[in-house]
Structure 1
Amino acid sequence: MKDRSTPQFQSFTAVRQGSKQLAARLPTDLVGVAGFVAVAAVLLGVVDTGSAFLRIAVGFPLLLFVPGYATVAALFPRAATVEREADSSPLVDRLEVTDGERVALAFGLSLAVLPLLGLVIAALSWSYSTPIVVGVVCVYTLSAIWIAAIRRLRVPAERRYRFDLTHKASALHAAVFGTKSTVHTAINIVLVVAMLVALTSVGYALVSPQDGERYTSLEVLSENDDGELVADPPSEVDSGEELSFVIGIENREGEEMEYTVIVQEQWVSDGEVIDRHERDRIDAQVSNGGTAYGDREITTEATGGDVRIAVLLYEADDVPETPTTDNAYRYGYFWTEVVDDV
């Protein structure tokens, strides 16, 4: 009977040693950051989660910590040591930072990098939509992580920075709870909680969905001799002639809208409308972010004098029985003089 225990044990030992060597060479912090970036890109840029808490939990570190951490990792591949040797390597390779400095720099550099990425988006004439912003931040972070991994592997193993989660957690626990005074421990806990609350508040302000102002804009325009639309409706029209103008509707409501536009001829005395007559009614469908223009021609009932032409805009399903400027969703008007040629 063959003794198979020894070969099996040696094989298992070799696998364990190989795994340890791989783990020692693998920059676990960079791998973890890259994985987080991939998950954040999906949750914030592709999938509409609809959860404010999830957006905060993912978006806050993605914007305020991860880009800076990747930048710090690319700049400082070495671990901090008590004695710093002078060698012929470039200055940036000889610079070392402690773990606390890495965290502080990660936040600071993130705040410095984000405006620069915003300038890149503006230079490329892209919109500041969530998918584009998240995509640009993720591309930058992954590029910095790639550079950091290459530079870190070029550093000798004994000088290479390694992230040890267990050691960092133990050090944090000792710093907060390792005091000999109950009062000092309580103060440390309060400071940690206050910092978390402050960071969460900032993160919510940055990554929570901002609806922004929703509105509809209504304009009454005319076409000049060059064919351009100008905010100068006709101020005079001959009696019996058609009065021509252009109505512009801009939709910023966040969705496609259906409108009803009513054009009235109004007679005004002492600032009060004493009579009104409807001259036109138009239904318009405007896509979100779009602007629709319509040429209108009406004939006034008045044969002379000044009349006010009012343009009243309503949502299609919310038109009152008696349309006025007081109950209109948006309105505009202009005065025109009706000239009697007789």
Structure 2
Amino acid sequence: MSHRTSSWTRFGFVRRYPFDLAAVSIGAILAYLVVTSFGADSTLRLFVTVPFALFLPGYALVSILFPAGERSARETAATTADARPRGIDATERVGLAFVLSLAIVPVVVLALPLVGTELTTTSIAAAVGLVTIVFAQLGVVRRLRTASGKRFTVAPIASLGRLRRDESAVATASSVLLVVAIGTAVSALVVAFLLPVSAGGYTELGLYSEDEDGEVVAGALPSEVAANESIPFTIAVENQEGSEQNYTVVVQEQTLEDGEVVERTELRRIDATVSDGATGTGEQSVTPTAAANETVRISVLLYHGEPPATPTNENAAEETHFWVTVTGE
């Protein structure tokens, strides 16, 4: 018998853990995994991002501010000196959750550069998820410190029963319409705010070489090389697309006449996979095939995935180039 009592005592906190805040914490973790695992064009990612960014953080903060449930009219009239924390109903909680989320998420995003963190999808999702979980746990502490008869609890069936018996139906309907209006406004903001963040990524291509001091710099590539002499350089690809990307780099020697490419020779092709927010670099070298005293353009063309049958500077996602003259020596 004493052993059974000990077990109930041990798991008492788990049984009293608020269901809604447990759902908020688990939802934040699952949302982070979805946002960081799926591409920017994923419908599931967009579907998950809306509650993740526009509801969960605010709901967790509301739980800290208002751990108690709404007082009935009889409780309010009974005493005005009660030290019980002020409570709000479920409808007001949902409305405040949207409003506070709109305040929390921009603050989190603005705070990331201040702590030396780059603004990437992964870092923003991790920060929002962490803030949500921390707020939810503080909300658990606040709610469990409130008397059991006064703390807010999630009981959808009981709430619907009270709604049917509520004499102030007009006020209740107004509250519901307020929440719907807030939700509609927030959904509109998703198109203007969230989608540019997820779909407005970029890839940056850089071409570097070593100077006389052995430092890797831009713009120090040779303008002349001897026949059969190789040109060493470093290619850097920075991925800020919001997800891991597969790239193909084509290094092409081009002969131009009157500004038009009349001959193309592929010198090298490189496949690379770069994680979101990372920069992939690689040391390469090419040997021009041009005849002596001929000037050619060495173009570095970057593509997402497989390049087209004829890679050109115009159809590349990113391109950079330099000119070189092959001497007769």
TM-score calculated relative to the size of structure 2: 0.64
Indicate the larger mover: 162-171 or 298-307: 162-171
Q: Residue in 2 aligned with 1:331?
A: 319
2:277 is equivalent to residue 308 of structure 1: no
1:32 paired residue among 19, 22, 27: 19
Stretches of structure 1 lacking an aligned partner (at least 5 in a row): 1-25, 87-92, 180-184
- CA–CA distance in structure 1, aligned partners of residues 236 and 165 of structure 2: 59
Offset, 1:72: 0.9
Q: What's the secondary structure of 1:37's corresponding residue?
A: helix
Quote the offset at 1:319 in angstroms.
Answer: 4.2
**1:84 to 2:69 alignment:** no
AA matched with 1:262: V
- Aligned residue in 2 for 1:220: 207
Mapped pair 1:145 → 2:134: no
Aligned counterparts of 1:203 and 1:282: Cα–Cα separation in 2: 40
1:182-223 residue CA offsets vs partner (Å, 9 max, x unmatched): xxx8x8886665344224444677778964245544333221
**Shift in Å at residue 145 of structure 1?**
1.7
What displacement does 1:66 show? 1.2
- The Cα RMSD (Å) is 4.7
Which residue of the partner structure matches residue 7 of structure 2?
none
Instruction: Tell me, yes or no, if structure 1 residue 262 matches structure 2 residue 255.
Output: no
Contact 1:218 1:248 (8 Å CA) reproduced: yes
Distance in 1 between the 2:304 and 2:102 partners? Answer: 43
Structure-1 residue corresponding to 2:184: 197
- In 1, the alpha carbon distance for the partners of 2:188 and 2:44 equals 16
**What is the aligned partner in structure 2 of residue 69 from structure 1?**
62
Take 2:131 and 2:221, find their aligned partners in 1: how far apart are those partners?
A: 51
Q: Does 1:272 align with 2:273?
A: no
Alignment of 1:1-342 (within 5 A): 31-41=18-28, 43-46=30-33, 51=44, 55=48, 58-59=51-52, 62-63=55-56, 65-73=58-66, 81=76, 84-85=80-81, 96=86, 99=89, 106-115=97-106, 117-118=108-109, 123=115, 125=117, 128-129=121-122, 132-133=126-127, 135-153=129-147, 160-162=150-152, 166=158, 169-170=162-163, 174-177=167-170, 193-202=180-189, 211-213=198-200, 216-240=203-227, 242=229, 244-250=231-237, 252=239, 254-257=243-246, 259-269=248-258, 271-273=259-261, 275-278=262-265, 280-289=267-276, 290-299=279-288, 301-304=290-293, 306-314=295-303, 317-321=306-310, 323-338=311-326
Which position in structure 2 is the counterpart of 1:12? none
1:7 corresponds to which residue?
none
Change (3 A) 1:225 1:207: same
Q: Secondary structure at the match of 1:266?
A: strand
Change (3 A) 1:327 1:112: closer
- Between the aligned partners of 1:338 and 1:197, the Cα distance in structure 2 is 65
**Higher-Rg member (1/2):** 1
State the SS of the aligned residue for 2:66.
helix
- How many residue pairs end up in the alignment? 295
- Tell me if the contact between 1:55 and 1:208 (Cα under 8 Å) persists in the aligned partners: no
Structure 1 residues 57, 120: CA separation in 2 closer, same or farther (over 3 Å shift)? closer
Q: How many angstroms does 1:148 deviate by?
A: 0.7
Q: Deviations over 1:61-85 (max 9, x none)?
A: 64353122122135x7995845533
Counterparts of 1:57 and 1:279 in 2: how far apart (Å)?
46
Cα distance, 1:230 vs structure 2: 1.9
Range with bigger deviation, 160-169 or 258-267: 160-169
